[in-house]
Structures are given as structure tokens and as C-alpha cells.
């Protein structure tokens, strides 16, 4: 189970991750990742709609995603918000396949967030001045 300080609970936090962050996609899930300037532990939330399946199926997908997230918390930075959105294909995935999908989606989102932060602050390698072509 995720510790309380690592859970997304408010609609504002979910909205921040969806609208202010970046997205990584994989076969079974989408990962929405945002960085806030607030000083707090990384937080993770889950969205599993009825399109995924009945309540038993949705809860199984959430349990598996929570177990994955608990293992990956150390890879997230302070102030990061991560929302995992399960796609209907997640219902038929076994745990290893879901885990690989989650890893790929998070890696893609992390890469995109890093690129977005570099664009916003200027390219670190050139001292903040971006090359113009």
C-alpha cells in the first residue's frame, strides 16, 4: 500500500497532473506526470474507468498499479505528481505485462518532463541561451 503522503487525493492535484504535465503512453496505461514547485513527497493517483471492466477487474488493476507505484516511488522527484490512467487493455494484462507497460509509460513521461523543463528554463548545456537557426 502507498503511504498516505504519497497518495493523490484532491481534484486540484489530479487536474494539475493532467493539464500542467506531460503524458507517456504504453499499451495498457497512460502516465500523466507533472512537477510542482511545492516541497512535498512525490504523489501518485490512479484513474480506472468503467471501460476497463467490472468492479472486481478495476480493483485488480488498481491493486497491481499501486504495488508497482510503491516500488517506484524512489525514482520520482520531490514535488512530482503522477497519475496512472488504465486503458481497457489493462483488464486482460497479467502483472508482468502491466508492470512493463507502466515502466515504459513512466520512462516516456519522465523524458518528456525533463525536455519540457529544459525548454522552460533554457538549455542547460548552452548556459541558458538557446541556439536559434
Question: How do residues 14-45 score in pLDDT, each as one tens digit?
Answer: 999 999 899 999 999 999 999 998 888 999 99
Cell numbers found for residue 62: 488498481
Q: What residues are paired with 47 via a beta bridge?
A: 85
Residue 97 lies in a domain: yes
Residue 81 predicted with pLDDT over 90: yes
Question: How do residues 49-66 score in pLDDT, each as one tens digit?
Answer: 999 999 999 999 999 999
CA–CA dist 10, 128 (Å, integer): 35
State the pLDDT at residue 119.
86
State the pLDDT at residue 123.
60
CB atoms within 10 A of CB 124: 9
Residue 129 lies in a domain: no
Domain of 103: which CATH number?
3.30.230.10
Range of the domain at 78: 4-116
Residue 124 predicted with pLDDT over 60: no
Residue 127 lies in a domain: no
Residue 130 lies in a domain: no
Residue 85 lies in a domain: yes
State the pLDDT at residue 89.
96
Residue 127 predicted with pLDDT over 70: no
The pLDDT-based confidence of 80 (bands split at 50, 70, 90) is very high
State the pLDDT at residue 2.
87
Residue 126 lies in a domain: no
Specify whether the CB–CB gap between 17 and 34 falls below 8 A. yes
Residue 25 lies in a domain: yes
Residue 61 lies in a domain: yes
- In this prediction the pTM is 0.85
Q: How many domains does the chain have?
A: 1
Question: How do residues 4-17 score in pLDDT, each as one tens digit?
Answer: 999 999 999 999 99
Amino acid at each position: 500500500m502507498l503511504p498516505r503522503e504519497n497518495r493523490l487525493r484532491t481534484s486540484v492535484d489530479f487536474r494539475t497532473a493532467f493539464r500542467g504535465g506531460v503524458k507517456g503512453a504504453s499499451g495498457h496505461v497512460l502516465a500523466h506526470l507533472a512537477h510542482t514547485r511545492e516541497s512535498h513527497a512525490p504523489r501518485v493517483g490512479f484513474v480506472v474507468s468503467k471501460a476497463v471492466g467490472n468492479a472486481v477487474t478495476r480493483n485488480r488493476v488498481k491493486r497491481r498499479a499501486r504495488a508497482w507505484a510503491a516500488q517506484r516511488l524512489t525514482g520520482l522527484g520531490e514535488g512530482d505528481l503522477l497519475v496512472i490512467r488504465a486503458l481497457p487493455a489493462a483488464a486482460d494484462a497479467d502483472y508482468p505485462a502491466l508492470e512493463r507497460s507502466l515502466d515504459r509509460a513512466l520512462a516516456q513521461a519522465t523524458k518528456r518532463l525533463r525536455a519540457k523543463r529544459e525548454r522552460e528554463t533554457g538549455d542547460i548545456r548552452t548556459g541558458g541561451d538557446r541556439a536559434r537557426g
